[in-house]
Amino acid sequence: MPRLRTILAAGVAGVALIALYPLGRSLARDSDLQDFAQIERGRKLATSADCVACHTRNDGGKPFAGGRPIETPFGTIVSPNITPDAETGIGRWSDAEFDNAVRHGVRRDGARLYPAMPYAYYTKMSRDDVKAIRAYLATVAPVRNAVEPNQLPFPFSIRWSMHAWDWLFFTPGEFKPDPAKSAAWNRGAFLVTGPGHCGACHTPKNFLGADKTSSALQGSPVQGWFAPNITGDKTRGVGAMSVEEIVALLKTGHNSVTSVAGPMGEEVADSSSHFSDDDLKSIATYLQTVPGGGDKPQAPVAQSDPQMQAGQAIYRDTCAACHGLDGKGVPHLFPSLAKAPQAHAPDATSGIRVVLSGVRSVATDKEPSAPAMPSFGWQLNDAQVAAVLTYIRNSWGGAAPAVSAGDVGKQRTDLANRDSQGARISATQGDRK
Amino acid sequence: MATRLPKKDVVIIGLGWTGSILAHELTDAGLDVIAIERGPWREMATDYPPNYAQDELRYHIRHELFLRPDQTTFTFRNKMDQTALPIRKWGAFMPPNGVGGGGVHWNAETWRFLPSDFTLKTHLTQRYGADFLPQDTTIQDWGVTYEDLEPHYDQFEYLCGTCGTAGNLNGKIQDGGNPFEGARSRPYPNPPQKQGFGHMLWAKAAAELGYKPFPQPSGNMSRPYVNPLGVRQGPCTFCGYCEWFGCGNYSKASPQTTILPVLVRKSNFSVRDNSEVTRIDRDASGKRATGVTFVDTSGNEWEQPADLVILCAYAMFNVQLLLLSGIGEPYDPAANTGVVGRNFTHQAMSSVDGYFDKAKFNFNPFIASGAIGMCIDDFNGDNFDHGPHGFVGGGYLAQAQTNGRPIQTAPVPKGTPKWGAEWKKNVADYYLSNLKGGSIHGSMYSYRDVYLDLDPTYKDRFGRPLMRMTIDFHDNELKAAAFMTDKYAEIVKAMGAKIVQKSPRKGPYDIRTYQTTHLNGGAVMGADRKTSALNRYLQSWDVSNLFVMGASAFPQNAGYNPTGTVGALAFWAAKAIREQYLKNPGPLVDA
């Protein structure tokens, strides 16, 4: 919903864009702008790859014009402009240069990209796939927006260090279907491990930020959230959800047990809600076969534990009105804390964040409500938040490590240093107006 | 000097129920719509979240969600020969403020008016003769019929997820519903809410006296609901904080929980909040609106041109904006000419409290919702023969105790001291065994000397005259109140109450104590432009690209809460705009 000021600004910018337009169009490339089929294929792949999420500012930026700070464990990288603008975008890039960046992590000037750009996943796409994405990107409005992408602190600011990283962790190569598996499974595997780059958030990382491929999709901290386990594990992953439930979650943002928010909310809004149902079914089919961690089930914290007792009392006062005394919530509206995997994740980061800051789920065409939970950070102290989360995590058949007041305090401090969009304030200094 | 903004197809003044409905319908028709709202944007999780929504001091005593009288107010007097004074603290009604309007803080009682309510003058004259009508009454027919509005009542109920039991399904009377209601084309979208012990005991006693009790139609959800727009609500938790509160649980139908989530996703919709429209602008002919002028919180003045202006503010502000913009002839009660300000009405509420033996009765009044309750309609409208009684009109009778909130629920029988040991004892004795809020929802019909006009003395912060209310009860309403209160008291007595305390509505009209927020009329609809400001499609007779929504269109009030009818009229007008006006802009009714 554009506010008036935005509309005015957009109007002025629109005139400027039209003036720039022919310039963006005049530059050489070997993908064919008349080829509807290629452009359409590229649009779908770009949606699968969710290019727009990182390459668009989330405070009203122009699509693909870059400038969004991407938080990494090593500092902040700002996404570049990938509109066809000749000076500040990729208008002058050849298709080969574009392919080299997307699938091999090599910039036009030969420098290595940082793996915040998920080329380690995109390498699974074919050259034709990437050419199609290029063809599509060449049709979007060119935007003049110069971005200084590298704002990492020393020593990570030294790009040639990425040669070593790539040598250690990057395995280039297109996706190879497994003939023993169904077409749906192979399609799902391609989408998840390729353009969908699910593991970029959901796979645990080593100390250099590379995927621990042996525990793929088993959950990982990301940008102040915990991207949960999305393997076929029945308790920690999505194994207990039917294919239809997983499809509903990716399509609408909500299903009978859980809802998405935070970075996954953006993913659903920008990307998976636009996938075909067949692609979503394929993703679900594949995810259910991904092995979980095989960790031994842990014993729940005893009901008699003082933290559990306090937590139950707080839960009844402050949570039960929406989530129910039985923790079951209301399907598609209030998540079931009894069944949502995130509510019992080994890492409580997301739970703490939601309780402290509140959260709004995503709005999609199919389910526009975008229900929101209020913040409790002003009302509950660290020990109380820890108690109620410990209770939620260890009730209704669930079991997960207790949360301490210290855990909550740490996150309270972290959240105090984030802006309303959830970005670290230090990460955006000098960048935001 | 106002800054001129780019032209829109439609400008909507006020983003409450009717503004949201019209914005949705007209953006669906492909028009570019902007809504200008005087108050703030409002959201459940940030403005009335469940972790402090149940704050009686903040919302009920300190009026958090309402317009601040500092911003603007009305002047009030009972009689034409008195000097009106400004209202400095809201009392008899609560003007809403902000996105969602009254739809945020209502109780969500969602009624349909009776078929005979829409043809009131014709109906009563035919049945009782013109001489039976009260002297000086200006009641009139609406220009629309119940049958015209039925599909739109249905639309509004399905938008809201109204919970109830049908009493008349396609002409067949249904058990457990209101047998007096007009025929409905399909059942309510949701079953009625569960009722409390007190509500059910009252219904049992009413049935034993020969009446036909039924659950109150409620916009508090009896179960999770997905409306036709795909917007979801959760089940009501019976917290007892509805009226004057927002619902943070997504369980009360409001624009926020039914329609705004869809509206805000549309690229052809935008909104300016915290911006007050100061006038509707017209061209040199005076017959065409060119847009509106509004002022933001910084005092900047803006002009928003538009092809179509939809006035969707609270009833009183609709009338005020018409008068201040010089649209329609102002009503003159002495000469009985003019239309804007004419047929202003409110409600004539009465009540009965029952005090029961605490050893036998425990009503747990705190388990409640805004529109919980059991009702009878035997004494509403013209559902009974008024011949022997010497009055017209009526109302529904309901045991609809909506809360047991701590500050204001301290029921004590008359004669109890205001403080001290005996007061404490009586509060303790009767908190659980009192039935308060026996609601007698009396109609108020229109009279020549009850009206709205511009105050000659008091001005708002822009120097515009305040709206002046001249309002008092006439004998007809007081007689009806006394009659219905007696009937209600018989039911409470039959329930086994120790003490039955009657409070029939008495004159003069009191601006200090709350009745309802159902102010009506002043810009009424009708078939004759001499006695109405709007035609049957809520289109201004004088300025054909101006439509005026809301209860200001009611020629007189019925014995019900108005929102169901307000919603139905909004959909009715939207249909006329989409199907008739847009194809051929101009007056939809020749006059």
Other CB atoms within 10 Å distance of the CB of residue B107:
26
- Whether B310 and chain A come into contact, CB under 8 Å, resolves to no
- Measured in angstroms, the CA of A333 and the nearest CA of chain B are apart by 7
Contacts of A60 in chain B (CB under 8 A): none
**The pLDDT value given to residue A424:** 73
- B13 in Cβ contact with B69 (< 8 Å): no
Cβ contact A363–B261 (<8 Å): yes
CB contact under 8 A, B45 and A360: yes
Residue B488: both structure tokens together: 């209600």
Interface test with A, best of B51, B271, B273 (most A CBs within 10 A): B51
Task: Select from A1, A4, A376 the Cβ nearest to the Cβ of B264.
Answer: A1
* Cα–Cα dist A285/A283, whole Å: 5
**Measured between beta carbons, which residues in chain A are less than 8 angstroms from residue B263?**
1
Q: Is the dihedral of CA B334, B339, B343, B346 positive or negative?
A: negative
A117, part of any domain: yes
Q: Name which of B15, B266, B36 is nearest A363 in CA terms.
A: B266
In this structure, the answer to whether residues A153 and A81 fall within a common structural domain is yes
Q: Which residues of B415-437 are buried (b: 16+ CB within 10 A; e: fewer)?
A: ebeeeeeeeeebeebbbbbbbbb
**In which domain, by residue range, is A135 found?**
16-168
CB contact under 8 A, A372 and B249: no
Is A374 in contact with B270 (Cβ distance < 8 A)? no
CA nearest to B491, candidates B194, B196, B180, B207: B207
Q: What are the structure tokens assigned to A59, written together? A: 């405070």
Co-location of A208 and A356 in the same domain = yes
Asked whether the beta carbons of residue A322 and residue B43 sit closer than 8 angstroms, the reply is: no
Interface check B51 vs A, CB under 8 A: yes
Take residue B584 and report the two structure tokens written for it.
Answer: 């051929």
**Beta strand segments in B192-266, E:** 214-215, 225-226, 232-233
What proportion of chain B, given as a percentage, has pLDDT over 90?
A: 97
- Which of A1, A333, A367 is facing B234, going by the closest CB pair? A333
A264 token code pair: 């996954």
| ipTM for the whole complex | 0.91
Q: Is A365 on the interface with B (CB under 8 A)?
A: yes
Residue-wise DSSP of B12-55: EE--SHHHHHHHHHHHHTT--EEEE-SS----HHHHS-TTTS--
CATH number for A258: 1.10.760.10
My answer on whether A112 and A233 are in the same domain is: no
Round to whole Å and give the CA distance between A120 and A196: 12
- The angle that helices A306-318 and A382-393 make with each other, rounded to 10 degrees, is 90
**What pLDDT, on a 0 to 100 scale, did the predictor assign at position A32?**
66
Is B230 close to A366, i.e. CB distance below 8 A? yes
- A372 CB within 8 Å of a chain B CB: yes
A4 and B CB contact within 8 Å? yes
If we measure between CA atoms, which residue out of B197, B223, B80, B95 comes closest to residue B434? B197
pTM score of the predicted model? 0.92
> In terms of domains, do A114 and A239 share one?
no
Contact list, A365 vs chain B (CB under 8 Å): 265
SS3 state at B10: strand
Residue A6 covered by a domain: no
- Chain B contact present for A319, CB below 8 A: no
Say yes or no: A269 and A296 in one domain.
yes
**Which pLDDT does position A15 carry in this prediction?**
41
Instruction: Give yes or no for a contact between A418 and A425, defined as CB atoms under 8 angstroms apart.
Output: yes
Q: Cβ of B253 under 8 Å from any chain A Cβ? A: no
Q: Give CA torsion, residues B578, B579, B582, B583, to 10 deg.
A: 160
Q: Which of B248, B257, B261 sits opposite A374 (nearest CB)?
A: B248
- Give the residue numbers of B marked as catalytic: 518
Q: Give the model's pLDDT for residue B415.
A: 94
Min Cα separation A390/chain B (Å):
20
A76 vs B28 pLDDT, higher one: B28
- Best CA proximity match to A254, nearest among A374, A360, A357, A393: A360
Phi, psi dihedrals of residue A73, rounded to the nearest 5°: -65, -15
The residue behind tokens 């001290």 is: B420
User: Which residues of chain B lie closer than 8 angstroms to A367, CB-CB?
Assistant: 230, 232
pLDDT at A14 (0 to 100)? 41
Note whether A364 and A306 are same-domain residues: yes
Ranges assigned E (strand) in B480-554: 499-503, 520-522, 546-548
Residues of chain A under the 50 pLDDT cut: 1-28, 427-433
The size of the A-B interface in CB pairs under 8 A is 84
B-chain CB neighbours of A4 within 8 Å are: 5, 34, 270, 272
CA B554 to chain centre: 10
A contact test, residue of B3, B24, B47, B232 with most A CBs within 10 A: B232
Q: CA gyration radius for chain A?
A: 22
Short-list B103, B68, B120, B72, CA closest to B247: B103
Q: Check if A1 contacts B (Cβ < 8 Å).
A: yes
Q: pLDDT of B408-449, one tens digit each?
A: 999 999 999 999 999 999 999 999 999 986 789 999 999 999
Chain B, 212 to 231: residues with Cβ < 8 Å from chain A are: 224, 226, 229-231
Mean pLDDT score, B388-404: 96
CA distance A367 to chain B (A): 6
What are the pLDDT digits (tens) for B230-260? 999 999 999 999 999 999 999 999 999 999 9
Flag whether A401 is in a domain: yes
Distance of CA B3 to the CA centre of its chain: 35
B103-125, pLDDT tens digit by residue?
A: 999 999 999 999 999 999 999 99
Query: Looking at the structure, do residues A241 and A323 belong to the same domain, yes or no?
Result: yes
**DSSP H or E run through A162:** helix A161-169
Q: Where are the domains of chain B?
A: 3-581
Instruction: Inspect the interface and report whether the beta carbons of A1 and B248 lie closer than 8 Å.
Output: no
From A125, A143, A168, give the residue that closes a domain.
A168
Q: Is B305 an 8 Å CB contact of chain A?
A: no
Q: Which residue has the tokens 């139905």?
A: B568
> A193 and A70 share a domain?
no
Q: Which residues of B touch A323 (CB under 8 A)?
A: none
Q: Is B274 on the interface with A (CB under 8 A)?
A: no
User: What are B269-284's pLDDT values in tens digits?
Assistant: 999 999 999 999 999 9
Mark yes or no for CB contact B49/A321 under 8 Å.
no
Q: Which of B237, B262, B270 sits opposite A368 (nearest CB)?
A: B262
Question: Pick from A2, A7, A321: which is nearest to B249 by CB?
Answer: A321
B259 touches chain A (CB under 8 A): no
CB contact under 8 A, A331 and B224: yes
CA B191 to chain centre: 23
Q: Taking the mean position of all CA atoms in its chain, how far away is CA B503?
A: 22
Nearest partner of A133 among A197, A176, A84, judged by Cα: A84
**Quick one: tokens of B403?**
């809360």
Nearest residue to B37 (alpha-carbon basis) of B271, B269, B260, B261: B271
Q: Are B246 and B65 in contact (CB under 8 A)?
A: yes
Task: Please state, rounded to an integer, the average pLDDT across all residues of chain B.
Answer: 97
Q: Which two tokens stand for residue B504?
A: 């029939």
Residues A132 and A188 in one domain: no
The answer to whether A2 contacts chain B (CB < 8 Å) is yes
Q: Which residue of A has its CA nearest to B265?
A: A1
Are A370 and B261 in contact (CB < 8 Å)? yes
Interchain CB contact of B269 with A (< 8 Å): yes
**Is A261 in CB contact (< 8 Å) with chain B?**
no
Q: For B230, which of A7, A321, A367 is closest by C-beta distance?
A: A367
Q: Do B272 and A4 touch (CB under 8 A)?
A: yes
Share of residues in chain B with pLDDT > 70 (%): 100
- B265–A371 C-beta distance less than 8 A: no
Residue of B477, B494, B545, B492 lying closest to B311 (CA atoms): B545
Give the model confidence (pLDDT) of B314-338 as tens digits: 999 999 999 999 999 999 999 999 9
The predicted pLDDT at position B12 comes to 98
Q: Which of A168, A193, A223 is the last residue of a domain?
A: A168
Q: Are residues A227 and A295 in the same domain?
A: yes
Q: Which chain A residues contact residue B52 at CB under 8 A? A: 379
Residues of A in contact with B232 (CB under 8 A): 330, 332-333, 367, 369, 371
Closest Cα in chain A, distance from residue B451 (Å): 38
Tell me, yes or no, whether A125 and A255 share the same domain. Answer: no
Q: How close, in Å, is residue B234 to chain A by CA atoms?
A: 7
Q: B163-211: per-residue pLDDT in tens?
A: 999 999 999 999 999 999 999 999 999 999 999 999 999 999 999 999 9
- CATH class of residue range B3-581: alpha beta
Count of positions (residues) in chain A? 433
State which residue of chain A sits closest to B264, comparing Cα positions: A1
Of A333, A367, A368, the CB nearest to B250: A333
Answer yes or no: do B271 and A3 touch at CB < 8 A. yes
A142 and A216 within one domain: no
Could you tell me if residue A92 is inside a domain?
Answer: yes
Residue of chain A with shortest Cα separation from B6: A8
